Each structure stands twice: as C-alpha cells, then as structure tokens.
Structure 1
C-alpha cells in the first residue's frame, strides 16, 4: 500500500510536508539536547585535561576547571571572584555526589575564599595558588575572635583576625589535595608588619577549617604562610598527609600543622621546615579555653621530618586550657631543631596534658631532647585565676630514642605546687655535644617539680626520674581515624 500511495501526487506532497515538519521538530529537539548537554558539561566534565587518578576519602561526581570561570593564571590577575564563583556554582552538587574544582598549571593570584560541603579542591602539579599581598579587607575579610582564645593572638585588645587564605566553617566532607601543587602564602609583607608592630589584627593562616567534620589535606607544597599553615579548629575526623611545608626558619609563628580543640586526627608522612613548631597541638587559652571546654584528643602523628632551629618538632600547648589527651606519636626525625616533643603550660592555663605516648625518635643536632615547662606565661589577659587554674600534666611516655649532638638531654620544669607526674622514659641513647672551648660544661639534665621513672637511658637522668626496669607504655589499639581508607578516584 505504501509503494502504491507514493505514486499518487497528493500523497507525495503530504508526505513531503510531513517529512520536512518532522525533520524540523527532530532538529529543534536535537539542538535543545545538545545545548542542554553542553551547559551541564560546564560543571561536570574535565575534558580539557588529561585523565588522571588521585586518592581521597571520597570521590566526586561533578567537576570543573578554574579557567571555566574566567580565571587567569598569570600571577598578576586577581582571581578571588573566579574561585568564589566556581565554588558557589559547584555547591549545588553537594547532595548529588559532590564536586571537585581543578586548579590547572599556572599562577593563580587570589584573596581569601571559602570552601563548601562535599567538595574537593585539587591543585595540579605546576599550579600555584598565590595569596594576595594586599592588606585590604576585601582580600582578607575580618573574622570574629575565636571563643576559646578570647582575643586575636597577636594583639592585647579583643580585636578580630584575618580570614585564612582557604577557609571553611560548619562543613562536612572537604578535601584539599593535589599532585604536588603549591599554595604560596606570600607572607613577607605580613612578617615585616608583624615585626614592626604595625598590624591591627591577627595575621591570616594559610588554611583554616572550623566546626567541620571529615577533612583531608594532602599531597601539596605549602610555603610562606603569613602565620600558621594548617589550622583545623573545633573539628573532627581529620587526615593531614603528604605535605611539604616550608617557611624561613627565622620567622615566628609559622607553625606547620596545628590541630586545635579537635578530635580523631591523623597526621602522617609530612616534611616541615619552620620558624616555629612543626606541629603544635592546642585547645584554647586560659579562662576562655577552660570555659569553651573542648579538648584536643585521639591524635596520631607518624613519620614526620622536622627542621626548626628555634622551636619544637611537636609542641603540646602552650594554649592547652581545654585539655590535650591521648596523643600517639611514632617514627619521628628532627634535624637542627630546638626540642623534640615539648610540653608548654603555665599557671592560669588550667586544663590538662595527659596520656601522651611517643615511640621512635631519631634526632640530630638538638638543643634539648626532653622539654617540659610550667612557666610559659603568655596570657590572653589578666582575668585568669592564678590559684585555681593550674594545669594537670601527667602520663607522659617516651621510648626508643636516638639522639646525637645534643646540648641538653632533658629540661623538665614543673610548677612548685603543681608538679608534672607520671613521666616515663625508656631506651634512650643521647650523645651530648662537647664544646671544648666552653668555660663550664652544662649538666645534661635539669629537673624540678617532676616525678616519674626511667629505664636504660644514657646519660643518666636526674634523681627525680629514678631507674626502674620498665618499657614505657604505647597503646596497641587503633584510633577510629586509622581505619579510614583512601579511595582511588578518576578524573
């Protein structure tokens, strides 16, 4: 019937009209589908880059490249708007598999920007995020003071503080990673102003995440932060690994990694050169930290290499008024560093430092190996209670230590009416530095207001730490954060 009707001129015309009309409709539909698909690809495809894999606690369904948001990687063009636009756009996918923003090779100048939930910032090899050196509040918004500190750390007045370069608060599942990309804080202008007391508020950190859960910061080069480099605060379930952190060794307060009033933290395989502590565990300052009452706890630190001629490889405090407990440290290397693991506290701090376990330190060229002080008296204000706010320092364990070229084996100074107790040191061999030109040789140990035991320690410790056959404790159980496994994600 079809072939017969095709011979009819009227049918031929009708069929031609139907065919053209159908083709037009199909064409319109195709155009809609094509442009709709392209619009979706704007934030869901990384086709401009070669495929690559990376490891993360969570993979993402959607992704975008920073250049899709008019960013220019010339090291001169300010890209704050591009970062904010990209992250705002990608935030709509938080509940649809999450999103990833790729920072490609180039130099990307920017002011402070905020992250979002279920989000990954991926900095490629050859990419450098450059912090703006402008002091304008537009680049560095002012934040309120931290409730556990009571004021900005660098001013005596209860003024604010600058937002970090990369900031986030009340987030879940946030990742900052890459394949050895770089974040450069360009801190020299801040260092100079701090040195000359020209700052009105606290210098910005490089990365700060507040009140957040499920954090990964990994596989990056971090350099020249204006202040602390990595500062998770009031947060939980944190992994920081594979970082190379560098700051000039003569610049103060350039701490590497500072977990603060945070819990369930895993810090592994990091290399840090700093003008201050390579790692500092904190939990608030004096009466403000006591009132806030959020300890730093359940923290494991492994395979750290540190260079810090003026400070410690790991510091506990000095702001520890909310308490620090259950810290497990192993397989550490320090070179040309003032102290290994140092406890810093003072009258007025309150709080506690307890259940600290350190195993396996390889140290070379140190001022002191074991360092504790109860007189680190830098206070937020004069409102602390000098009678009631006494710190409780107890249960401090060190084992398996090898050290060479050491000036002081141990400098352990508690508080006269509040001694540090439960100190244990076992299997430690310390080779002292001998200065043949010195008029007076320093004693290898200096101990006051402490108590505990030692076993197989050379040189012989002070009388307050008598010899007893013992292996100092180290937990055998695993912290929950140790069970978190990385996934292999593909772009």
Structure 2
C-alpha cells in the first residue's frame, strides 16, 4: 500500500484511534525505507567514528625483556613497559608494539592515552596457571562473583578508570587458552569466578579493533560502567562445547558501538547486561545508547543476541541492524525473572537474516538465578517497546517463544515484515503467554497476543528526530 494513496483516502475524514495508529505505522515504515534508500541510517553510536591519531611515542615489548617463545612468562615485561609508557600520557600518549611471536603472560593493567598494537603473527597467550592471576573484588552491581561467591580472577588485559585507550593491531591475536578454565568450571573446581580476556571498568573513549580473540575463559570483551566504547572489525571464537563463554558484553555502559564483527561462541555471541538483582538495582546504572550493525553471530547453546538475564540496572535505547544469525540454538533472546527489577525497553532490531536457528525469537520471564536469598521477589522487571523489522529466516524450528510474568506482562512487542521458514521438526510455530503487542506481515501467523490494536500496544512504533535526522527507535 502506498503511503500517499492511504493518506489521500483518509484525508478529511474523522480518524479512529486504530486508523491513526495505522498512519503512524505506515509513516514509520516509509521513512525507514527512505533512510535506507538515501544511505543515511540515522545517527546511531556507530556513526560517530573515533579519531585515532598516531601516538608520538612507541616501544616494543621486546625492549623490556619479553620473549615470544610461548613458554617464557612475560607478565613483568608487560607491566614494566606500561609503567614506562604512563609517563607519556601528557605528551600525546604512547604505543606498546607487540611483534610476531607467542607472548605468554598473566594479567596486566593498561593506562590512559595508550595504544596496545598487535602485529600480524603476534599472539598474546593467557597463562593457564591460576597462581598467575590476581583475585579482585566483585563488581558492585553484582555483589559477588557471578559463578563462585566472593572475588573473581582479574581479566587478562585490564583497565580501570582510564581515558583514551586503544587495543588494536594488524589482525594480531589474544588467546585465553580457556580449556583448563572450562574444565574447572564444569567440574565445580573453581575457587573464584573465571576471568575475561579484555575488561574495561569505569573508562571512556575506548577502542577495540582489528584483532582476533580466541578461547576466552568466560567473556572475550567486557566494558562495564564505561562510556563511548567502539568495538570494530574483530573476530571472536570459542568452541561449541565451551561452557557459558560470551563474545562481547556491554555491561552498565553508555554509548557502545559494535560493528563489522564475526563472533562464534559456546553460549552467547553478544550479551547486554546491567547488574544482578538487589546489587544491580542499588547501583542503578543502565546499559543504554547501544548500536550494533553488520555483525555475523553464532551461538551454540545460547543466543546470538541476548538481553539479560542480568539487567537490574536497565537496558534501553538500543539499535541493532544488518545482522546475520546462523547455526545457533536461539537468535534473539530477552531474559529476566522475578527479583531482577529493571527494564528492557526502546529496542529496535531490523534487517536480520537467520539460518539454521532452533528458536528465532524468545522473551523469557522465568530465566536466571539469584546471587543470594536477599533479593526482593517483588522487584518485577519490565519489558516494553521491543520492535523487530524486516526479518527473514530459513530452517527455523520455533518462530517465537514469548513467556512474560503474570504480574508484569511484556508489552508492546512489535513485529513487522517478518518471514520465517519453519522446518518439519517444529512442534508449534509460536508460544505466547502474558505478552501483548502488534504484528503486520508476519509469517507464520503469530499468536493472537501479538495482534492487538488496543491502547496498550498502539505506541509500538514511534519516530524520534535525532539531530535533525529522522531515525527509528
């Protein structure tokens, strides 16, 4: 239906509430198509490119006695090099160059105004000896280690309260050698929660680009309490059997771009989080203003794109576009449970290709554990204003499994132009309870819960004017 013809037919006539909603919907779709035609997708976080000026000073890790034989422990060399480069922070910053070789190390801390550059053929290898890993305090929005009560092992490459930090290279590699950590996790032999490969805490203007990440003990890249993080052109992988390994985890962070990445993980490929139960509620820092585009995601036992279940600080204002999800248990999943509090809202996901996915779309209100028995069971999470546009899927078993919470139903779930090819193994295409929303041009036919035109679902689609440009949010 052409928008102009629709408006002409309705001009001058009294409009019902439903007619006004249809007009708004058609305007949204027409404008989003116009945005694509003219090549302007609206100013999401990824449209603000970081300016990476060359650092005026550069040293090689070899100058500090490091040996790239894969056997010599180089932790002290990395620590000494970064301590030396810290003196250049007020002189334009500095670069630590890692040449080809296998550079075994325990955890080390970065500093502000630093570029860590891994040359092609350079591999930073994480030590498999837990005595080389310092134990640090749990994050305040989690209250304890997420896997084991108490502290947690420090991440391999770590930054705290830093400004202007870049980890990049000529497709160098950071290998967490996670097998031993996965075995300890599976056998319940961990003394502390597993470390991550790269973690930034309370930092801003962070760039991670042009690298390969392998075999993370837990997460590969974890920005938490950060602002202005740009993650671009990286490849991340862990084996299908690696337990609860996750690729990129924006956590209680504001202004995150993830683009042009390929991620293949044992659990989730990308997971947005913001704290755990009473600790996340008290800390009160959401993950917001996230832009994800042009990514290829695979997740063996989890989801290609996951929101929650740790979302007590809230997740909002997220745009996901031009993504390919394949060979995975779940495509797009929202997870939460009673006691979480928080919210997930104002999230738009568009231009999605799925292939060989068991469950294409899920929203689960009874998913996730609690850190302790001090959580408030009356702290109910809210899921509202979730929009999926222009989605195609091949060899899908279940189109959607949407299970809200009776006391806090999921509302304004909106689907438009969604076509999923369901395979013969499908027991049922859609399953819905305690949800409401709107759908248009969706195959297979969604549950009646997603066909509402009532006031509760009439605001599913909205237009925002961002800096003079029309964008969908």
Flag whether TM exceeds 0.5 (same fold): yes
Out of 364, 374, 380, the position equivalent to 1:383 is 374
- In structure 2, the residue matched to 1:309 is 300
Paired residues for 1:365-444 under 5 Å: 365-387=356-378, 389-435=379-425, 442-444=427-429
Q: Which residue of 2 aligns with 1:362?
A: 353
Of residues 141, 144, 150, the one that matches 2:143 is: 150
Task: Find the aligned partners of 1:196 and 1:349 in 2 and give their Cα distance.
Answer: 28
Residues 140, 163 of structure 1: 8 Å contact kept: yes
2:214 maps to 223
Change (3 A) 1:210 1:470: same
Shift of 1:56: 5.6
Deviations 1:189-217 (A, max 9, x none): 11111110001100110000001000000
- How far, CA to CA, are the matches of 1:59 and 1:118 in structure 2? 11
Q: Per-residue displacement from partner, 1:223-247 (whole Å, max 9, x unpaired)?
A: 0011110000000000001110010
Extract structure 1 runs of 4+ deviating beyond 6 A.
Answer: 467-472
* Alpha-carbon distance in 2 for matches of 1:417, 1:135: 45
3-state DSSP class of the match of 2:91? coil
Query: RMSD value over aligned CA atoms?
Result: 1.7
| CA distance, structure 1, for counterparts of residue 117 and residue 105 of structure 2 | 16
**Structure 2 CA distance for aligned equivalents of residues 365 and 371 of structure 1:** 16
Deviation at 1:135, TM superposition (A): 1.1
Aligned to 2:451: 466
- Equivalent residue for 2:61? 66
Match of 1:451 among 430, 436, 442: 436
Q: CA deviation at 1:344?
A: 0.3
What is the deviation of 1:418?
0.7
Q: Is the CA contact 2:323–2:351 (under 8 Å) kept in the aligned structure 1?
A: yes
Q: Does 1:57 align with 2:76?
A: no
| Alpha-carbon distance between aligned partners in 1 of 2:463 and 2:176, rounded to the nearest angstrom | 38
Bigger Rg, which one: 1
Tell me how far apart the structure 2 counterparts of residues 67 and 292 of structure 1 sit (CA, whole Å): 42
Tell me how far apart the structure 1 counterparts of residues 461 and 181 of structure 2 sit (CA, whole Å). 43
Contact 2:303 2:333 in 1 (8 A): yes
Q: Matched residues in 1 for 2:465 and 2:120: separation?
A: 37
1:455 and 1:467 in contact (8 A); partners too: no
The normalised TM-score by structure 1 is: 0.82
Instruction: Determine helix, strand or coil for the equivalent of 1:372.
Output: strand
Mapped to 1, the partners of 2:51 and 2:339 lie a distance apart of 41
> What TM-score comes out, normalization by structure 2 length?
0.86
Classify the secondary structure of the residue corresponding to 2:84: helix
SS in 2 for 1:190: helix
